[in-house]
């Protein structure tokens, strides 16, 4: 009785095979599959099928799935193995994309076997979790809504993308593209740039004092920002060479909670902040770490760790010198309870290290792994405690304030992050402090900064634009098409495409449309809405936009042709 297992990638197939027993490799059509006990474990290389149409031009609404040319040998091999299989097991990643990959393979290469397939669910490729997944297989039909939502998402993206992009290409005679997520994301960047361009810098003055107590100097700042030059000069003149008097001392403890566990967006943002990695590269590295069984599945929205044996993971991490002291400290705790976040994902928990150790990581791979480990360890610590000292000093009736910070309990800051201390001399209310200098600095108001990887990902997540898996790709596409620079500055082409969309296809830039579609996709996944209804609505929206575009094609062509003039 042959059991055919479908995996998403070859590395995952090998991990599963080694977890199930002593495997052997069988060569079929030049494709090496894994045989162990009564299992034959085959694999894809991501999607083996993509959407296409026989129609040229636009509009296009009749689409179909076809094999990707480079995938023919993989498809042929899976198809041949499936003829002798009596049991089918879907072991692709448990999310929309993984379910779509398996769904298409099972219906096209395995004689429409999806409905009789079993589901193996796991969030890491450790031996224990794989064996648990294969001992608790469920009917795949239970998750058909996940597949239908994923298929519908692909259909929507294709219908919007192919039609709008071909319209732009037709008008410009150049390779351009736009889509239902790409459009609003470009709009964010363009509209921020317009704000920056329209911003008028207004002057203001910050007045600082250099003070001294027992020959120990410290800084203080006038409590208000001054928007009038004459007023700033008056304050400086009145306070110069006049000593200050300590009027008030406010000392308080600030409790800083540990960070929550990583989900994908949090990891991508932190990797950009600390390592200057773009989102796509971070995801690529995280996926490799997952396939090496070093971390759990990274494509997750969850900030909640699973209820697993944390002690064993931390004990294993203690064998790495970088984490030894921190891990041993945690192992002394009687109760290892993480500080979870609020965001959850029904498919996968937050990202965590599995405890499996590898010495074969590149420098940048280790840095991403290190971020994940330190974040994981930090979640088990108590709040850090900072003593904040604010001193108010009266100089000729003007109040200047100075702040000091002291770490009372470092806690998780020793695991993940740093906090800079700032000391002040010992001061008491009523004491006189010497005035060394009063300095007025003219500055100018600044517009909001341009987006970066971190801030744009956060906004896309907040506005429900794209998915945790596709947001990085959308940003990369905007750069690849020449709409924005790698520094997120819009190009002339980007402005023109945005302007065309804003005038003739305004609904495509609409966040409301995108949010509505995301809600409908959730309804499909839950089984309360039919995919055909959503596709029908999308077809209607695209037709309206295309009709306006065609009516104004000559004007649009002129706009696009003038870009390089």
Query: Could you state, in order of their start, the residue ranges of all structural domains in the chain?
Result: 2-136, 150-198+449-561, 203-258+383-444, 264-378
Q: Note the pLDDT of residue 469.
A: 85
**Residue 276 CB partners (closer than 8 Å, separation 6+):** none
Backbone region of residue 326 per phi and psi (left: phi > 0; alpha: psi in -120 to 50; beta: other values):
alpha
List the helix and strand counts (H, then E) for the chain: 18, 15
Q: For the chain, report the end-to-end CA distance as a whole number of angstroms.
A: 69
CATH number of 150-198+449-561: 1.10.460.10
In the numeric block, which tokens belong to residue 177?
A: 């593209």
Do you know the residue count of the chain?
A: 565
Q: Using alpha carbons, select from 252, 250, 253, 254 the residue that is nearest to residue 392.
A: 250
pLDDT at 565 > cutoff 60: no
Q: Which helix (H) or strand (E) holds 256?
A: strand 244-256
**3-class DSSP state for residue 348?**
coil
List the alpha helices (DSSP H) in 300-450.
Answer: 310-317, 324-331, 363-378
**Residue 369 CB partners (closer than 8 Å, separation 6+):** 289, 294, 295, 353, 361
Identical fold between 2-136 and 150-198+449-561? no
- Tens of pLDDT, residues 211-220: 999 999 999 9
- Tens of pLDDT, residues 3-15: 999 999 999 999 9
pLDDT at 326 > cutoff 70: yes
Q: Using alpha carbons, select from 225, 201, 202, 205 the residue that is nearest to residue 439.
A: 205
Residues 60/159, Cβ–Cβ less than 8 Å: yes
The answer as to CATH 1.10.290.10 being correct for domain 264-378 is yes
Residues 333/379, Cβ–Cβ less than 8 Å: no
The answer as to CATH 3.30.70.20 being correct for domain 203-258+383-444 is no
Q: Note the pLDDT of residue 338.
A: 95
Whole-number Å distance between alpha carbons of 416 and 211: 35
pLDDT at 70 > cutoff 70: yes
Active-site annotation holder among 103, 158, 290, 297: 297
Q: Which of 230-239, 290-299, 354-363 has the lowest mean pLDDT?
A: 354-363
Q: Which helix (H) or strand (E) holds 240?
A: none
398 included as an active-site residue: no
pLDDT at 411 > cutoff 80: yes
Whole-number Å distance between alpha carbons of 31 and 52: 26
Q: What's phi and psi for 525, nearest 5 deg? A: -60, -35
Whole-number Å distance between alpha carbons of 382 and 507: 48
The answer as to CATH 3.40.47.10 being correct for domain 2-136 is no
Per-residue HEC secondary structure of 179-199 comes to CCCHHHHHHHHHHHHHHHHHC
Q: Note the pLDDT of residue 561.
A: 84
- Tens of pLDDT, residues 541-564: 899 989 999 999 999 998 888 776
């Amino acid at each position: 009785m042959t059991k055919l297992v479908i995996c998403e990638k070859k590395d995952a197939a090998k991990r599963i095979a080694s977890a199930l027993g002593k495997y052997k490799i069988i060569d079929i059509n030049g494709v090496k599959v894994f045989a162990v006990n009564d299992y034959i474990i085959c694999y894809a290389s991501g999607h083996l099928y993509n959407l296409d149409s026989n129609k040229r031009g636009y509009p296009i609404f009749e689409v179909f799935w076809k094999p990707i040319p480079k995938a023919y040998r993989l498809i042929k091999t899976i198809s041949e193995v499936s003829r002798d299989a009596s049991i089918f097991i879907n072991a692709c990643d448990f999310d929309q994309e993984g379910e779509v990959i398996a769904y298409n393979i099972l219906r096209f290469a395995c004689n429409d076997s999806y409905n009789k397939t079993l589901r193996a669910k796991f969030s890491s490729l450790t031996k224990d979790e794989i064996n648990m997944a294969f001992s608790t297989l469920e009917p795949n039909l239970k998750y058909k809504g996940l597949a239908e939502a994923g298929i519908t998402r692909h259909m929507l993206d294709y219908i919007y993308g192919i039609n709008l992009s071909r319209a732009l290409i037709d008008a410009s005679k150049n390779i351009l593209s736009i889509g239902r997520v790409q459009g609003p994301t470009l709009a964010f960047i363009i509209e921020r740039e317009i704000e920056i361009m329209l911003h008028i810098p207004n002057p203001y003055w910050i007045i600082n004092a250099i003070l001294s107590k027992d020959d120990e100097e410290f800084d203080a700042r006038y409590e208000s920002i001054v928007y009038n030059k004459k007023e700033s000069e008056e304050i400086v003149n009145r306070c110069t060479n006049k000593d200050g008097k300590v009027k008030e001392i406010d000392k308080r403890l600030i409790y800083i909670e540990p960070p929550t566990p990583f989900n994908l967006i949090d990891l991508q943002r932190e990797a950009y902040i600390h390592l200057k990695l773009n989102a796509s590269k971070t995801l690529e590295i995280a996926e490799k770490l997952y396939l090496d069984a070093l971390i759990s599945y990274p494509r997750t929205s969850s900030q909640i760790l699973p209820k697993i044996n944390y002690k064993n993971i931390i004990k294993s991490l203690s064998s790495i010198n970088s984490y030894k002291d921190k891990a041993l400290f945690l192992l002394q705790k009687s109760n290892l309870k993480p500080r979870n976040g609020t965001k959850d994902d029904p498919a996968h928990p937050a990202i965590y290290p599995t405890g499996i150790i590898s010495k074969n990581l590149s420098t940048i791979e280790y840095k991403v792994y290190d971020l994940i480990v330190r974040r994981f360890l930090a979640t088990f610590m108590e709040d850090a405690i900072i003593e904040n000292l604010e001193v108010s000093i009266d100089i000729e009736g003007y109040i200047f304030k100075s702040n000091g910070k002291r770490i009372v309990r470092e806690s998780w800051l020793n695991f993940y992050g740093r906090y800079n201390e700032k000391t002040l001399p010992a001061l008491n209310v009523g004491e006189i402090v010497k005035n060394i200098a009063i300095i007025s600095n003219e500055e100018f108001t600044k517009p909001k900064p341009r987006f970066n990887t971190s801030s744009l990902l956060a906004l896309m997540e907040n506005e429900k634009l794209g998915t945790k898996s596709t947001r990085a790709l959308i940003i990369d596409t905007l750069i690849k098409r020449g709409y924005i620079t790698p520094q997120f500055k819009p190009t002339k082409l980007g402005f023109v495409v945005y302007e065309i969309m804003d005038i003739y296809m305004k609904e495509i830039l609409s966040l409301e449309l995108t949010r509505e579609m995301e809600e409908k996709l959730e309804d499909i996944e839950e089984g309360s809405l039919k995919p055909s209804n959503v596709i029908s609505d999308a077809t209607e929206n695209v037709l309206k936009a295309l009709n306006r575009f065609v009516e104004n094609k000559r004007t649009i062509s002129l706009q696009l042709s003038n870009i390089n003039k």
